[in-house]
Each structure stands twice: as structure tokens, then as C-alpha cells.
Chains A and B, each alone.
Chain A
């Protein structure tokens, strides 16, 4: 019953919307007794494995720089052997769940940017800012490559709170994105 493919209201033709609403209501009511089990153990019966396989995808970039006037240096990017900082960790399935977007960034995206920034700052004392963003790419399987379409989304910048070798008075204002050390 849980996995019964009742379409979403958005995807339903207007004539069938009342029927779909009734079906959804019925399903909710019939499944009400099992809800504690379902919520407590996080169970469902709707399975999606790559429901969408669009040509428009993303590619994550993690970059760093020494100060606001410096240019950004790439630290991690998929398929970039020269910039593979913490690649295994970032690409671990549970971590990817936080940064790989659907139509919008996930709630764990901002905590992810803070985690990756902390990791960068720990290894690279020269860097004081980390930027995480997702490049819009178009995949071209027939050509065996993906190309950038020149746009980035979901940009977050995390700044080191106390840059090393600098007195606190020389710091710039701390951005909203970086309220924590």
C-alpha cells in the first residue's frame, strides 16, 4: 500500500486530481496504525533508483584562498587527480548524501561546507577562506564527456575565524555563513 504509485498532485492531470486526493487520503488513513513503526524505524516501500537521469547535472568544487583579494585555488573536484583533497571522504555515500543536490540543496549542505572547510583549514594553515559550490554541467555520453555551462549554484563561503599569524584586530567582519569556529 505504501509503495502504491499514486502520483503527486503536481503531476496529475486536473481531471484526475480529486481521485488522486481521495486515494492519498485513503492511503494515509489505512496506514495510520502502522505509522509509529514506519517513523520509528524509518521504513517505506517506495523505491527510487535514479528516477531521473538528466543531461543537466552538477559538479562540486571545493576551493580555498589566503585572503579576500587572492584568487581561488581548487582543492577538490571530481575527476581532477591534481585536486583530490579528501576525495574518499567527500565521495563516501553518506557524505555525498549531504552535498549532492536534487532540485535544491539538502539541509546537510551547509554543515557539510563547514566540515570540509574545517578539514581544509586543519591541513592548509595558509588558507583563510573556503568556498564550496556546484558547477552546472551538461553530460554528453555520446561524446564521453561533460561540459560546463558556465554557471554555479549553491555557493557557500566559510572563513577561518582567527587567521594564524594575524592579530584579531586585523580580521575583516565575520560573515553570516561562518558563525562558528
Chain B
């Protein structure tokens, strides 16, 4: 990640493309061109030019692949077949080195892209609100000591023994410790949502959430694992560059955040979300999720008294729809890696390619996102899974380029104004 490339990215704001490889690849291939130019120069007979070329190659760092003596031999019209083969090999090697260098440059350029902080700020706020909601719910039910306190009064058996978490080692396994850790979680979730010391807040919340999970391992679910990873990425990102007390303070002291911030945290969160779905898809090993048991899984789950929100009487008439929903879920989860391609195609819509054109025309990217939203809203309505659906929906802003979010915001504002 060179200073010059960073400067170049700053100078040239990103387009509306919302994700992966795109234009950077183009730059990479452009950089791999030089070897071909050098190759064409080889046919010139002048030894002076040959030595100049070798000097140039030395500067490029590719001198090893092109010894001057061989160059001289290749320049003779009567060169035999062996030297021609060696020259071809050298040319191939140079192309390979150039290609690798281009690919590396493209990789660095890709991860060094800049964009407005809108998506990251939204994720920061939504994740913090979801986690705060979970802690407040535990308090409202009077379960803070019951869940994180040590047995026999509480379920927090993780605070005992040799592998006790740091909170229990520092403060002792007690109901007071449960309250302290819970309180730290509430404060850090509040400050993260408000964007006060955003990075520190995200780190403290990730640490606190881990301590809560270590104190009461049975109460720690998959969504907690996921959101801890998200918090750590947020802690390393400029997620407080927008809609935050941090941004307000920095404006006041005359050192505002730059308009464009690194995009890599959003890309990482994007990949995390995609992987989460894909992993959930290939871990569904029960036959009820597949055609062998007629896609019965969602019907079974919605009749399970421990998870279903409503009396299962409604499941029977809706059973065929639930089979369809089960198949769609599998398609959605196992097909999630395609979202990377769909996003790339959407960001490079002007480029040629029939598949790209059809995918964009059919709005497959939007279809995938809408399916995901429907999937989670459906879960929230019909199952009692706590913060799971909301925690995942809180990550959905990373699926959009900040420019898309800004356009959506402007559209919403204009509609509201018109309505008023």
C-alpha cells in the first residue's frame, strides 16, 4: 500500500461500484504490458540499445531474466533455434513476473480504495443498537445475575475453574462481576452507537461481549460470535467518521475526518456476511433441508415448540409454501458466493458480457438482497431467536456502496418532503 497509490486513490473518488475486484484488474493488466514492448525492442540489432535495455531491466528489477549476452545473440540474424528458444523462455518469464507484479499492484489498489463512511457508520449504529437491545432485554427480565452470575444462583458456570475468563479472574466470579460486565457492555454499546471514541468503544464492546460469553457459554449463540468479529473489524475501521460525536468533535477542532475513508473494512464485512451464509448452507446436513425429505425443514422448525412463535396450527395449510421457503433458503445460502460476482457485475455494468447484462437486467443482486431481508424478517416474525435476525440485518448496509445509500437517503428525504 504505497503512499503514491494512496494519493492516487484519494485524488480519484470511486465510482458507484459497490464491491470487489473490478477496475483494479484493469490497472493490473495495464502494468503487465511493458514486457511485450521490451520484447519488440529485442529485434533491433544495435548493441547500444541492447545495453540500454539491460540497464532499464536492471532498474525494473527484472535483469536476472534477461542476460545481456543472450540478448546480443538473439539480435544476430543467424541465431540458431536454441537461442530463440531461450529468448522465448526469457520473454515468458518476464511476462510472468510482470503479470504477478500487476496482480499484486491490483490487489493493493483494490484494498486501498476509498469511499464515504456511510455504510460503516450505519453498521456501527445498527450493531450497537442490536447489542444494546439484547442487554436491555436481559435487564428488563431481571436476568442479569441469573445468566452471568455463578452457580447456584446463576448459569454462569464459565466463571469457575482454571479457565475462568479475565473478568472472573480480575473481579472474582460473583453477581457483582456479572453486573460490572453487563454495565460495561451497556456503556460501550451506547458510546459506539453515538460514535463517541468509536474505535475504543467497539473494542471494549467486543471484549465485554466475549467476557459475557465466557462467563455463561450456554447463553452465547452463533450471532454473538458473528457480531464480535464484526466489532473487531469496526474497531480497526474509521466507522466513526460519520454520524458520530467523534466526527462532530473533529469538525469543531478544525481537523475533520476525510470525506473518503478506506473501503477495506466494508469489503471484509461483506465477505464475512457472505461466508456466514455459505457456511450455514453447507453445514445444513440434515436431509430435511434437501429433496430427500421434500424440503421439510422449515415446516419442522415452525412446529418445534421451543422455537416457533405461534401455535403450529397455521403450518399445515402453509406447508407447500414452507417447502418452497426451505428450498429458497438453501439456494440463497449456497448461492451466496455468487453475490460477489453479482455485485461486481452491477458495479461494472458498462462493460460487455451477456451474463453481466442479463444479471443486471434481471436485477439478481437486488433479488438476493430482497430474499435475505425477507428471510430474516420472516424469522423474526415466526421464530423466537432473539437478536439473530436483527443482528444479521444490521450488517446489510455493507452490501451497498455508500453512493447507493446516499441516493436512497436523498430519495427518501424527497418523498418525505413531498408527503409533508
Where the two chains meet, the residues of A that have a C-beta atom closer than 8 Å to any C-beta of B are 3, 5, 11, 40-55, 57-60, 78-79, 88-89, 91-98, 100, 106-108, 110-112, 114-115, 118, 137, 139-146, 179-180
Q: Could you list 11 A-B pairs, sorted by A, with CB under 8 Å?
A: A11-B285, A48-B279, A53-B297, A55-B300, A92-B138, A108-B157, A108-B216, A115-B154, A142-B319, A145-B303, A146-B305
A114 touches B152 (CB 8 A): yes
Give the distance in Å from the alpha carbon of A103 to the alpha carbon of B147 in the complex.
Answer: 22
Which B residues are in CB contact (< 8 Å) with A46? 279, 283
Which A residues are in CB contact (< 8 Å) with B225? 42-44
Give the distance in Å from the alpha carbon of A42 to the alpha carbon of B289 in the complex.
Answer: 28
Considering only residues 283-300 of chain B, those with a C-beta below 8 Å from chain A are: 283-286, 288-289, 296-300
Knowing A108-B219, A115-B146, A145-B312, say if A89 contacts B141 (CB, 8 Å): yes
B288 touches A54 (CB 8 A): yes
Give the distance in Å from the alpha carbon of A139 to the alpha carbon of B308 in the complex.
Answer: 12
Smallest CB-CB A-B distances: 7 pairs: A93-B386, A141-B299, A144-B316, A94-B219, A108-B218, A53-B297, A139-B303
Which B residues are in CB contact (< 8 Å) with A146? 303-305, 312
A53 touches B286 (CB 8 A): yes
Give the nearest-CB partner of A110 in chain B: B151
Give the distance in Å from the alpha carbon of A146 to the alpha carbon of B307 in the complex.
Answer: 13
Q: Is B410 an interface residue (CB 8 A)?
A: no
Q: How many whole Å from B210's CB to the nearest CB in chain A?
A: 5
Give the nearest-CB partner of A115 in chain B: B146
B210 touches A139 (CB 8 A): no
Give the distance in Å from the alpha carbon of A26 to the alpha carbon of B321 in the complex.
Answer: 43
Q: Is B35 an interface residue (CB 8 A)?
A: no
Give the nearest-CB partner of A138 in chain B: B303
Which of B152, B304, B313 is in CB contact (< 8 Å) with A111?
Answer: B152
Give the distance in Å from the alpha carbon of A48 to the alpha carbon of B288 in the complex.
Answer: 15
Given A42-B225, A53-B286, A92-B138, list of 7 further CB < 8 A pairs? A42-B224, A45-B275, A94-B147, A94-B220, A94-B221, A141-B303, A146-B305
Q: Is B385 an interface residue (CB 8 A)?
A: yes
Q: Is B384 an interface residue (CB 8 A)?
A: yes
Q: How many whole Å from A83's CB to the nearest CB in chain B?
A: 13
Which of A41, A91, A145 is in CB contact (< 8 Å) with B207?
Answer: A41
A48 touches B313 (CB 8 A): no
Which of A46, A94, A146 has the most C-beta atoms of chain B within 10 angstroms of its own C-beta? Answer: A94
Which B residues are in CB contact (< 8 Å) with A106? 218
Q: How many whole Å from B292's CB to the nearest CB in chain A?
A: 13
Count of chain B residues near A, Cβ 8 A: 68
Which of A49, A88, A93, A145 has the most C-beta atoms of chain B within 10 angstroms of its own C-beta? Answer: A49
B288 touches A96 (CB 8 A): no
Give the nearest-CB partner of A144 in chain B: B316
Q: How many whole Å from A81's CB to the nearest CB in chain B?
A: 10
Q: How many whole Å from B294's CB to the nearest CB in chain A?
A: 10
Give the distance in Å from the alpha carbon of A140 to the alpha carbon of B299 in the complex.
Answer: 8
Which A residues are in CB contact (< 8 Å) with B152? 111, 114, 179-180
Knowing A42-B214, A114-B152, A115-B146, say if A79 contacts B283 (CB, 8 Å): no
A141 touches B300 (CB 8 A): yes
Which A residues are in CB contact (< 8 Å) with B226? 47
Which A residues are in CB contact (< 8 Å) with B384? 91, 93, 96
A111 touches B317 (CB 8 A): no
Give the nearest-CB partner of A135 in chain B: B305
A47 touches B276 (CB 8 A): yes
Which A residues are in CB contact (< 8 Å) with B220? 42, 94, 97
Give the distance in Å from the alpha carbon of A96 to the alpha carbon of B146 in the complex.
Answer: 12
A5 touches B213 (CB 8 A): no
Give the nearest-CB partner of A96 in chain B: B306
Give the nearest-CB partner of A118 in chain B: B153
Considering only residues 370-397 of chain B, those with a C-beta below 8 Å from chain A are: 384-388
Q: How many whole Å from B407's CB to the nearest CB in chain A?
A: 32
Which A residues are in CB contact (< 8 Å) with B283? 5, 46-48, 51
Give the distance in Å from the alpha carbon of A96 to the alpha carbon of B276 in the complex.
Answer: 23
Q: Is B142 an interface residue (CB 8 A)?
A: yes
Q: Is B359 an interface residue (CB 8 A)?
A: no
Give the nearest-CB partner of B312 in chain A: A144
B289 touches A53 (CB 8 A): yes
Give the nearest-CB partner of A140 in chain B: B303
Q: Is B311 an interface residue (CB 8 A)?
A: yes
Knowing A53-B297, A144-B314, say if A108 contacts B155 (CB, 8 Å): yes
